[in-house]
Amino acid sequence: MLGVGEVARRSGIAVSTVHFYESKGLIEGWRSEGNQRRYPRAVLRRIAIIRIAQRAGIPLATIRAALADLPHDHMPNAADWARFSAAWRAMLQARIDGLVQLRDQLTRCIGCGCLSLAECPLRNPGDRLGAQGAGPRFLLGDGEDAPEGEREGD
């Protein structure tokens, strides 16, 4: 069994983060007879998975849902990781695709209706995309630049 300080040191996180993860239901500990927080050694791998997922931008609620069926004293193994990563892969790919699109269109007309760039009248004549809704329509998947199947409503 590990104390909260040892968990923090071994995981490379602050003690407050250990408490935060516990308050969010991501990890679980208990109090010893001396009223100290104790954690099973498996918490180290669990925290590693949480940190990797957070670094990838996975929301804590999604991480918690993935870990929900895993007993807190169970050491996550390769099969567990394969299950987590398969569930997160599509989410990450969608984020990557969106970031690539944003990068590629960052200096172009994005269909927001401002019509201030020289190419806006060519890509969004008369703000025709405004009829499809508010915001940067090209970045939201509308307009001729969006591949078929990636347009909002497809």
Tell me the residue range of the domain where 62 lies: 2-139
Residue 129 in any domain: the answer is yes
> How confident is the model over 108-121, as pLDDT tens digits?
888 888 878 788 88
How many domains does the chain contain in total?
1
Residue 134 in any domain: the answer is yes
Residue 130 in any domain: the answer is yes
Residue 8 in any domain: the answer is yes
Residue 149 in any domain: the answer is no
Token couple for 119: 């190419």
> How confident is the model over 31-73, as pLDDT tens digits?
988 989 999 999 999 999 999 999 999 999 999 998 888 887 7
Token couple for 127: 């703000």
Residue 147 in any domain: the answer is no
110: burial class by Cβ within 10 Å (0-12, 13-18, 19+)? buried
Q: What is the pLDDT of residue 144?
A: 59
- Could you tell me the CA-to-CA distances from 66 to 11, 80, 83 in Å, in that order? 20, 9, 9
> How confident is the model over 64-114, as pLDDT tens digits?
998 888 887 788 888 988 888 888 898 899 889 988 988 887 788 888 888
- Could you tell me the CA-to-CA distances from 75 to 60, 67, 81, 83, 96 in Å, in that order? 20, 12, 11, 14, 30
Q: What is the pLDDT of residue 145?
A: 53
The pLDDT-based confidence of 150 (bands split at 50, 70, 90) is very low
Question: What gap in Å lies between CA 81 and CA 50, rounded to an integer?
Answer: 11
